[in-house]
Amino acid sequence: MHLKYYKVDIPLINSFRTSFGTISNKKALIFELNADGITALSESVSDDVPAYGPEDNYTVLHIVKDHLVGFVRDLPTPDVFNRRAAGIRGNNMAKASVEMLLHDYHSRVEGKPLHLFIDPESRGYANVGISLGIDKTEKTIERISNALHEGYKRIKVKIKKGYDVELLSTIRDHFPDIELSADANSDYSAKDFETLKRIDRYELVYLEQPLYSDDLVYHSKLAKELSTPICLDESITSPAIAEAAFDIGACQVVNIKPGRVGGLTNSLEIAKIARRNGYHCWVGGMLETGIGRSFNVALASSHLVDYPGDTSPNSRYFERDIAAPTYEMHDGIIKPHDGDGIGVHIVRDLFGKHIIEEGDLL
Ligand code: OSB
Ligand code: MG
């Protein structure tokens, strides 16, 4: 058995601007496990800067190397791994990297595509929306128009303080009836409720993560003042927090990212909790390469996920992706691959050009 990590640096076709900063290059950790003739892969959603969440590539590698790798020597199932890793607090992005590697490995061992391995009732396809970074308003209008022609089922725009009401008003002038949402990535606070209330009139399907990630209580207060449903992303880091957030009325929708919640098992648990409470969920994205994207597409195909997600086709992000085959979107739908596990492999020559660091873990 052999476990390796690679750190890659790949330029994005378009840099992606959010309220917390601009991402121009995808700097990801890729994990590769070889055992019994099977190659399994995973990708960490961390970046070099801990701006979206508290982990970065350096902490993920440290936690995997010094605390998690010891749990995978006997190639446990993801659930056994999760029980072993429960003694390590937090560090969900690190845990998710290993948990998803084991999901890919075990679905390949069983000869099943990942989407069926994690959900025998998989729909077999993911409904796809687009997440548009902050840009000049006229550019955003043009991008929305293009996205609608390409078939995207929901348009999400990034907002931040001072770049919100006017943007949404202009979008609604051009596109009065589209399924529209806005994502603030935690930029607002309890002082901004009056501004946020002005967003209500644009009839968003939801407003994503308006307040700071720790702020469940104020999200619940805000939710009572808005008719727009609240969707939480950064705040929801575990099934228990999802349950609590629904319980106190802090949100009606959850953006599930397996990397943020410690992997696919927790992701599916959160989707079940949303459904049990009569609420909604969808699968987000972190500008992943084709490796991380595969896990998102498999999860987004689950029958438990009811809203369109942020899993655009590879070609929106990269000139050429390091993983093949790529995902194509038709009529706003992306299908997971038929192959075992995530169904993708690394394109070696291209991958080699983007590696900036590598090492053995087991
Ligand atoms: O908040 O959903 C987010 C990208 C990086 C960090 C945070 C977020 C995002 C996106 C992009 O919205 C979604 C995508 O992968 O296209
Ligand atoms: Mg978000």
The model's pLDDT over 125-163, given as tens digits with 9 standing for 90+, comes to 999 999 999 999 999 999 999 999 999 999 999 999 999
Ligand 1 atom with minimal separation from the 234 CA: 1
Share of the chain above pLDDT 70, in %: 100
Task: Quick: pLDDT tens for 99-120.
Answer: 999 999 999 999 999 999 999 9
Q: What is the pLDDT of residue 332?
A: 98
Written as six digits, the tokens of 51 are 């701006």
Model-level pTM?
0.98
Judge if 38 and 57 occupy the same domain: yes
Q: What is the pLDDT of residue 219?
A: 98
Ligand 2 (ion): residues with CB under 5 Å are: 183, 208, 233
Looking at the structure of the chain, the number of domains it has is 2
Judge if 184 and 60 occupy the same domain: no
Q: For atom 7 of ligand 1, which residue has the closest CA?
A: 286
Written as six digits, the tokens of 165 are 């009401």
Other CB atoms within 10 Å distance of the CB of residue 110: 12
For ligand 1, the distance from its centroid to the CA atom of residue 328, given in whole angstroms, is 19
Residue 222's CATH number? 3.20.20.120
Task: Quick: pLDDT tens for 176-228.
Answer: 999 999 999 999 999 999 999 999 999 999 999 999 999 999 999 999 999 99
Q: For atom 4 of ligand 1, which residue has the closest CA?
A: 286
pLDDT band for position 88 (cuts 50, 70, 90):
very high
3-state secondary structure of 160: strand
Averaged pLDDT score across all residues of the chain = 98
Give me the catalytic one of 197, 257, 335, 353.
257
- State how far the Cα of 230 lies from the Cα of 183, in Å rounded to an integer: 10
Judge if 136 and 173 occupy the same domain: yes
Q: What is the pLDDT of residue 91?
A: 98
- Examine the residue annotation and report whether 158 is marked as an active-site residue of this protein: yes
Q: What is the pLDDT of residue 96?
A: 98
Sign of CA pseudo-dihedral 104, 361, 260, 347: negative
- State how far the Cα of 160 lies from the Cα of 34, in Å rounded to an integer: 44
Residue 289 lies in a domain: yes
Written as six digits, the tokens of 304 are 């438990």
Q: Which domain holds residue 168?
A: 116-334
pLDDT band for position 318 (cuts 50, 70, 90):
very high
Ligand 1, from 17, 18, 45: best to mutate by most atoms within 8 Å of Cβ? Answer: 18
- State how far the Cα of 289 lies from the Cα of 16, in Å rounded to an integer: 15
Written as six digits, the tokens of 310 are 């942020």
Give me the catalytic one of 7, 95, 153, 158.
158
Judge if 81 and 140 occupy the same domain: no
- State how far the Cα of 203 lies from the Cα of 240, in Å rounded to an integer: 30
- State how far the Cα of 110 lies from the Cα of 116, in Å rounded to an integer: 11
Once rounded to an integer, what is the mean pLDDT over residues 94-102? Answer: 98
Residue pair 229/235 in contact (Cβ under 8 Å)? The answer is: no
Residues 6+ apart with CB under 8 A from 247: none
3-state secondary structure of 10: strand
Residue 340 lies in a domain: no
Measured in whole angstroms, the distance separating CA 341 from the mean position of its chain's CA atoms is 19
Judge if 83 and 131 occupy the same domain: no
